[in-house]
Every structure is written in C-alpha cells, then in structure tokens.
Amino acid sequence: MGLLIDTYKANKDKSSLFSQEIAIDYYDGATEAICKIKNSEVWVIASMVYFNPDDGKRIFTMVEITEESLPAIKALAELSLNEGNVGYSSLKQEIEMYYKGYTGKVFLLMGDWLSSVHYQVVEMTNKLLCYFGDIEAVLAQDKMAQDKWIQLFSS
C-alpha cells in the first residue's frame, strides 16, 4: 500500500485519492465505500470511524482489498445497488468478516468528505483497526474514543 501514500502525496489539495467510489452506506456523504485508488488497480474499503457534525470532519479507515477478495466484494456491492436489502446484508457481513481477519497495512483518511480534495492520510497500527458498521455506532463513541482518532493525525 505504499502506492496509497505516493498517490496521496501527488494528489493532496489537487484531487481526490480515488478514481472510483461505490458507496455502501450514506449519510450526507458516503460513510462506507469501496474505492479504487487513482492511477492504479488497487481497491480499498473505506469505513467511517469518526464524524463531527459541527465542523463536518470525517475520518475513515482504509484497508486494501486483496485480488482474491475483490471480485466477491464488488459483486456484492453491485447486488446491493441493484437489489437493495438482499445484497446489502451479505455485503455488510462480508466487510465485517474482512475487517476482523485483516492483517495488512491500515490507513486513515481525514477530510470533509470521503472524496474530498483537501484531506490527510496517515498509517496507523493494525491493532487499532475496528469496524463500526454504521454511522449510529460511530456517533455513539465517547469523547475519549473520538479524540483518539484525531490524535492519530498529530503523532
């Protein structure tokens, strides 16, 4: 995922990190999506872990989707878009299982939107990776848990 950092450095404040985004959950913007990194064949799952409605700041975890898992996840995403609840439940279960078993590098993206032009990306330890599943769970975090996400951008 060194490509992700290189793409971030090349595009920060110029364009989105992603060339394609398939929203899985949506609030007033995507809260979870599968996204293709610009100028590559690399796809990631981006899932919201922090949202401040007062200033609009959002933080997403980003985990790379392996070549082996990509066809199934994309197929479930398409099914979810076309068939609604039928594919959605299966997709959410697949993503939760993927997060639980993930052992690769983990990155955080902070911006006003997932596809924002103005954003920051940092790598974080895999030990902090968690999956909330929906915006209600993200918003239910206590202040200390919320502050933890912000602090990862200052270290």
Question: pTM for the full model?
Answer: 0.93
19-32 confidence digits (pLDDT tens): 999 999 998 899 99
Residues near 149 by beta carbon (within 8 Å), at least 6 away in sequence: 49, 50, 59, 108
Q: Give per-residue pLDDT as tens, 102-137.
A: 999 999 999 999 999 999 999 999 999 999 999 999
pLDDT the model gives residue 82: 78
Q: How large is the angle between the packed helices 70-83 and 85-101, nearest 10 degrees? A: 150
- Which three-class secondary structure state does DSSP give residue 147? helix
Within a 10 A sphere around the Cβ of 89, how many other Cβ atoms?
12
Domain boundaries, the chain: 2-151
pLDDT tens digits along 65-88: 999 999 999 999 888 877 767 778
